[in-house]
Homo-oligomer: A and B are copies of this chain.
């Protein structure tokens, strides 16, 4: 099997035009109107990334930007300490930033939240209560039993919990909901694990050592004195998140006694996850060394694993999400790839890269994974989740008459 690099990318011109998947261009939506979207936490790192990605999105147009009261009332370019490597998009440069209240976002069909955890809890709840559809990158609701934790290339099916989330809300909701995406390190590893479980059945154990980029900590984030010429072998709460979130994402949904549906946390087959998280002097791109053990005996060979990963096609691609990558998993044959500096921006960071698939003398298989933490590990996941929800009819267009209702 050749490297899929060439199958994936084509030449530079292709790569440029590939930002949005052409399988499902805008015209094929049942309703060709654009969705107006709002961004909470718009001045922060994740917010800036949302803006960059959405500036040329075929379905979504930025309608409103929310930030703290300190920034509210001022033009965006004056309050954002813009740290992206492309300039502030014209369309938002002079947009006036608003406080994060539902009233200010009433015209938005979709809300993307890049809020910090200390603010996200209350604000996202308020927005949901106001019948807004919230796609959040924050951790606050990931463990909520009625909020789906969706890695869009893995468990789009978990969106099916949304009606229950709405009906259990007090008062019950017609349109509002919260969808979360996973921690950046979790997201990266969940994709190949999902591909392998699909092909070979349950995984029993995974030992994961991460080498995580500084951008994962936001801005100002990691002090340079802590990371230049250094490794910090600890990221607060990160290992616990990985060990827990993977179970929710890779698990299914079951009917529980009371007629309610519940996430089963991979209960069909116990999965033990051990994570060791490290910060390294890399700007973007989390590298992870993964060793896994399958339930199935004998386990698949490295070559079978490579093939299953390369062939993995998530629903997000099949359904035609414009931000989904062409290849969910790019499998490298070179012995020293993937590398964050060389591979993190392929497919705009919407897929993951895997390399060095080989036998593990202790478990079954080990490999190296690279995931772009600011793309598929954060904003891109939220956006594909919103695309999935739109395609599934879960996101209503917000018209002028609806504004009255609110």
Query: Shortest Cβ distance from A342 into chain B, in angstroms?
Result: 6
Does A223 belong to the interface (CB within 8 Å)? Answer: yes
User: How many residues on A have C-beta within 8 angstroms of the other chain's C-beta atoms?
Assistant: 80
Q: For residue A36, which residues in chain B have a CB less than 8 angstroms away from its CB?
A: none
Residues of B within 8 A of A362 (CB): 205-207, 272-274, 363
Q: Is A259 an interface residue, CB under 8 A from the partner?
A: no
- Do A274 and B291 have beta carbons less than 8 Å apart? yes
| Closest B residue, CB atoms, query A230 | B341
**A202: min CB distance to chain B, Å:** 15
Check B12 against A56 for contact (C-beta < 8 Å): yes
Instruction: Name the one of B91, B215, B339 contacting A233, with C-beta atoms under 8 angstroms.
Output: B339
A1-22 CB contact bits vs B (8 Å, 1 = yes)?
0000110111111111001000
A85 interface residue per 8 A CB criterion? yes
A234 at the interface (CB under 8 A from B): yes
Set B220, B341, B366: member contacting A220, Cβ < 8 A: B220
Q: When A336-B232, A366-B274 are in contact, do A214 and B225 touch as well, CB less than 8 Å?
A: yes
Which B residues touch A56, using CB under 8 A?
Answer: 11-13, 16
Q: Is the CB of A83 within 8 A of B224?
A: no
Q: Say yes or no for A27: interface residue by CB 8 A criterion.
A: no
**Taking the complex as formed, is A221 at the interface, i.e. its CB lies under 8 A from any CB of chain B?**
yes
Q: Which residues of B contact A55 (CB under 8 A)?
A: 11-13
Determine if A232 and B85 form an interchain contact, defined as CB atoms under 8 angstroms apart: no
Is A245 at the interface (CB under 8 A from chain B)?
no
Interface residues of A (CB under 8 A from B): 5-6, 8-16, 19, 52, 55-56, 83-91, 93, 205-207, 209, 211, 214-215, 219-234, 236, 243, 272-274, 276, 278, 280-283, 287, 289, 291, 335-342, 345-346, 355-356, 360-363, 366, 368
26 contacts between A and B (CB under 8 A): A12-B55, A85-B345, A86-B345, A86-B346, A206-B362, A207-B291, A214-B225, A214-B228, A220-B223, A220-B226, A221-B225, A224-B228, A228-B281, A230-B340, A232-B336, A233-B287, A233-B289, A233-B337, A233-B338, A233-B368, A234-B336, A236-B335, A274-B361, A276-B368, A278-B289, A281-B282
